[in-house]
A and B are shown apart, each in its own frame.
Chain A
Amino acid sequence: MPTITVYKNDFQSLLHQSPSANRTVSIEELEAWLMLTKGELKGYNPETGELRIELQDSNRPDLWCCEGIARQIRIKQQGKLSPYPFFSEQSQSQAQIIVKPGIEQVRPYVAACAARGYRVTTEGLAQLIQTQEKLAEIFGHKRKTVSIGIYQLPKITFPVTYELVKPDEARFTPLGMETVMTLSEILMVHPKGLEYGAILAGTGRLPILRDAANQPLSFPPIINSREIGEVQVGDDQLFVEVTGTDLPMVVLTLNIFASNLADRGATIEPIEVQYPRSTSLGKRVTTPLDLGKSKTIQIQKVEQALGQELGAQTVARALETYGYDVSAGKGSVKAKLPPYRQDLMHMMDVVEDVAMSLGYAEFTPVMPAQFTVGGLSDIEHTSDRARELMVGLGFQEIISNILGSPDSYSGRMRLEGTEWGGMVEVDNVMSLSFSCLRQWILPSLLRVEAASSRAFYPHRLFEAGDVVIPDASHELGSRTETVLGAVIVHASAHFSEIHSCVDVLFYYLGKEYSLETVQHPSFLEGRAGRIIVAGQPVGIIGELHPEVLDRWQIAMPVVAFDLNLSQLLS
């Protein structure tokens, strides 16, 4: 989840909401306060005042900014959230955005507001841009569901129109460019067009925001106009719009921006969006808009979940000091999230906020008292016994990656195109070295042998671990099974030497086995056998084929076995 940069001075003035009463917050204090936000301080540069903070909660985008963190702490210090007037008051003379038919097929929703009276500072601008990026990137799924534009309000003539145009019908100078470009040129040339163009793939006509003077504001979700959409330090009248595919998310994002700008001293002026037909919020939607609903929370359930008697008053107080709008009843509280949050899905979400608001340290740990019996699975038990025996036989245990390359698991083993060569492969390969799952253990041991020719001989290696065997009859298309593999490597390594080990192993595991000659490409012909138990093959034993050793660049004879413990058990 996001890591953001915050300037300590900026943060302090937001915390106290007054630049004059700018009390210094110590780093220890800050770390303790950050617990309220599931934030972790990752770094602090005392010279620049830069703090690096990682925010964990992917359902709390309001906390992914300096303003939001300061707000959450401030509420706790002040005892409650001072309500934002623009969520409740109905503004009379509203500016408007007109949404034209057709846009619902591409990017249906827009929300916007104006902000006056906050003169943008260097730090404030950095935060505006960072919040815009983090919200669009992470909360907005790389601008797909949500993207944000911020403009110089005085340059816009209302009403603004949101509609689709033909790719060559509109043109403007985008941010980061010197010349006028059509929308199709932006998609083909502009870095943002190349990065985000895929969102609009397959749409014949493209979305555009234009003002009453027909000036383009933005080509969402790609790029703003340089003319209107380049906010600078010193600007004190802003226009913020959010477009996207999910109306509640679009509104929430705008609510967060409106709250942030209000926290910095701006007066927020709502904007009315007129849709051609009704949305889930009606045909005319004025934003910012509080979508929160009160939820009745049974105190007993909160107490049961937390394991502690608290009472309605304590719960109500805890929620209020965490930003909720609360009214306490008898045995229950009615609680509503603040408008910049939308993450209340279940009563348990409220329970956690109660615990965080009170502080986890307020809860005394209690041991779960009910009796349970511990134990290992049958396969783990068998695998552990086999491992003990292998150690007794003088073998060194190895652990390997299970994800590897087809070359190791099949190619160098001479198994390509054979019945033994099938593997589960990865579709989204990042590196060929990690592109399939091993179907047997021996290549993992040869990996070690190939790298260890200077290590004191003899080498006796084993690994007991999971492999994945393709199986069309299984609903997952494969079976995960536990396999024991072993190799003996030295100048006179011989079949009978490894055979003796298998013999001992089977004796102590209490199983009867026999060997049946097999032609297996990894082994020398006439020196390889299937290990048969109760008429079923459960493994293979033999002297490795010199061609295999050559491909691994191993210059020592190797004898080996590979025994499927899962099949041995079944």
Chain B
Amino acid sequence: MDTSSAVIDSLHPLETKVLTTFGASRPGTVLDSEQLAVVAELEPSQLSMAVEWLLAKALITIQSETVTPVVSLTKIGEEYYRGASPIERVLDAAREAAGTGKRLTIPDLQSQDGLDPSDVSKAVGRLKKEGVLLIVQGGCIETTGRPSPTVEALRTLLKQMHESSRALKDFSEDDRRVIEDYAVKRGNAKEPFRVDERVTRAFILSPSGASSAEQLLKQGVAEEVSQLTPEMLKDGSWRHKRFRKYTISLRAPRVGTGKKHPYREFLDTVKTKLVSMGFQEMRGSLVETEFWNMDALFMPQFHPARDIHDVYFVKRPTHASAMDESVLSHVAQVHQHGAGTGSTGWGYSFDAQRAKRLVLRSQGTAVSARTLAAAPSIPGKYFSIARCFRYDQVDATHATDFFQVEGIVLGEDINFRTLLGLLNLFAREVAQAKEVKFLPAYFPFTEPSVELHVRHPRLGWMELGGAGLFRPEVTLPLGVTVPVIAWGLGLDRMAMVALGIHDIRELFTDNLELIRATRGLF
């Protein structure tokens, strides 16, 4: 696309009209605003917009500027036009008096409605000077029967100028004298005419304007429209229309969006990964017994992590109303002396009442424990994205409630090496990491236990999760005889980096604009 077509494409319909007006005239034609307005059939305001735009684009230039005195009607003049001028009324009154034989004096005229005394004096003076009126004895006014050139001229001028204002030089010398006599002057605003100095600009096409105009004429001007309408499509008229091109580089207006929460979206991708790896989702209760939250996981009732500082206790009711007593007693025996699991047990006296104490679930492993007791599939893989609660001071790295992603894998082929294999898979699938490190770790319910460290493509070395083989003290009393991997992934740091936040509390932020603005890079 050459420059002149680019110029043409950007033209507003008003600009096109002005350019084509020039184009239709002989080359080098100079047109002033009035001529343009007439030929291009534009309102003065439209014309002045178009002219300013074309000047800014240097498609036309100003050839000359002329200052012309222009005569127009004042408000008073419009009133005179609709009714009659004072001088005409005075003359009419005198003629009427002559016809009826009534006496007419200046005070009589001055008392008539709408006639100003000074107007009356001026009118009488002028008519007398023209020899139209005579003042006879007793101050009576009589007509001579001669016509008044002033009255005639005024009537014509009022009519002409009511139609449009005109340049002073267009009038005859006599008319000009009448206009000057009856024009607004300093100290006398009550006159029908006003003489203003009007600047008239004349324009000529610039060379680029000339070529644009020529091209416009050549391609022919279809009617340009801004909006395609159903009617145009229906009657086919769109075929004869040009659609105005937009400046598409402008900033788009804002629109309200429906969208998932970025953190939830992150968890959704993890969920999808896990399902694709053959994991079945588990759900659990947010209120749980200490039994499922800890006892079933072989955490002794005197374990430091069970002190009041780590878990929220439920106020009402304090204890579960019922429990599977056989599982409860089996687990109790394992805690006490191992009960056939091959373990010595913890060697303390188990408090069955404490096992029923209700708490807010503090670890996702509680969900896994329930699954183990509910005849899981073997082989089987399970996961849950479980909301958990910790009795902790809230700060940038500790939230009162948070998601734990964890689960279990059951099977005859489960052992320490398949545990490492599973963690390798998580490293690759969840963190896109190729390098891993396995470190010894401690969890109360697994042995051996592993910490999984990975080299994340963006974050470098980080701890991705922990895992281990469930202790037989956990699995056997729940009726599971095959080895079981328990695993958990610590994804909050990954999520926070993906979402560009530094404070864990922002994962649950109440700042709507922040939620709307955040896009996850997963």
Contact = CB atoms under 8 A, between A and B. Distances in A.
B360 A56 contact: no
A365 B418 CA distance: 6
Given A368-B411, A372-B380, A360 B439 contact: yes
Contacts of A450: 510
Interface in A369-407: 369-377, 379-380, 384, 387, 390-403
Given A56-B441, A345-B473, A346-B344, A364 B417 contact: yes
A458 B256 contact: yes
B516 A57 contact: no
Given A306-B416, A345-B344, A355-B448, A38 B442 contact: yes
A461 B511 CA distance: 12
Interface stretch (B16-24, B135-143, B276-284): B276-284
Interface in A28-78: 35-36, 38, 56-59
B321 interface: yes
Interface string B405-425: 000010111111110111111
A354 to B, nearest CB: 9
B314 A424 contact: yes
Contacts of B256: 394, 456-458, 460
Interface stretch (A9-17, A227-235, A472-480, A526-534): A472-480
A356 interface: yes
Nearest to B274: A374
A377 B281 contact: yes
A337 to B, nearest CB: 12
Contacts of B315: 424-427
A361 interface: yes
A448 B423 CA distance: 38
Q: Which of A138, A374, A457, A479 has the most CB atoms of chain B within a 10 A radius of its CB?
A: A374
Contact of B260 (A306, A372, A397): A397
Contacts of A418: none
Contact of A402 (B286, B379, B393, B516): B286
A308 interface: yes
Contacts of A304: 415
B289 interface: yes
A276 interface: no
A305 B416 contact: yes
Contacts of B411: 368, 370
B280 A373 contact: yes
Interface string B161-189: 00000000000000000000000000000
B413 A456 contact: no
Contacts of A478: 285, 287
B69 to A, nearest CB: 56
Contacts of B409: 368
B346 to A, nearest CB: 8
Interface string A400-431: 11110000000000000000000011111011
Given A307-B416, A367-B421, A396 B257 contact: yes
B417 A365 contact: yes
A348 interface: yes
Given A375-B275, A428-B308, A395 B258 contact: yes
Contacts of B57: none
Nearest to A462: B258
Nearest to A430: B391
B283 A380 contact: yes
A368 B469 CA distance: 13
Interface residues of A, number: 94
A452 B422 CA distance: 44
Given A345-B338, A437-B360, A468-B287, A398 B417 contact: no
Contact of B278 (A38, A371, A394, A401): A371
Interface in A477-508: 477-480
Q: Which of A308, A396, A425, A448 has the most CB atoms of chain B within a 10 A radius of its CB?
A: A396
A434 interface: yes
Contacts of B510: 400, 447-448, 450-452
A141 interface: yes
Contact of A374 (B257, B278, B344, B438): B278
Interface of A: 1, 35-36, 38, 56-59, 138, 141, 145, 248, 304-308, 344-349, 351-352, 355-356, 360-361, 363-377, 379-380, 384, 387, 390-403, 424-428, 430-431, 434, 437, 447-452, 454-461, 466, 468, 472, 475-480
Given A437-B360, A475-B321, 6 more contacts: A360-B440, A375-B280, A428-B308, A456-B256, A457-B256, A478-B285
Interface of B: 254, 256-261, 263-264, 268, 271, 274-289, 302-305, 307-308, 312-318, 320-323, 338, 341-347, 358, 360, 377, 379-381, 387, 389, 391, 393-394, 399-401, 409, 411-418, 420-425, 438-442, 444, 447-450, 469, 471-473, 483, 485, 507-508, 510-513, 515-516
* Nearest 4 interchain pairs by C-beta: A307-B415, A307-B417, A452-B512, A352-B448
17 contacts: A56-B441, A58-B305, A306-B417, A307-B416, A346-B471, A352-B440, A352-B447, A363-B420, A374-B280, A387-B260, A396-B512, A400-B508, A427-B318, A430-B393, A449-B512, A477-B287, A480-B286
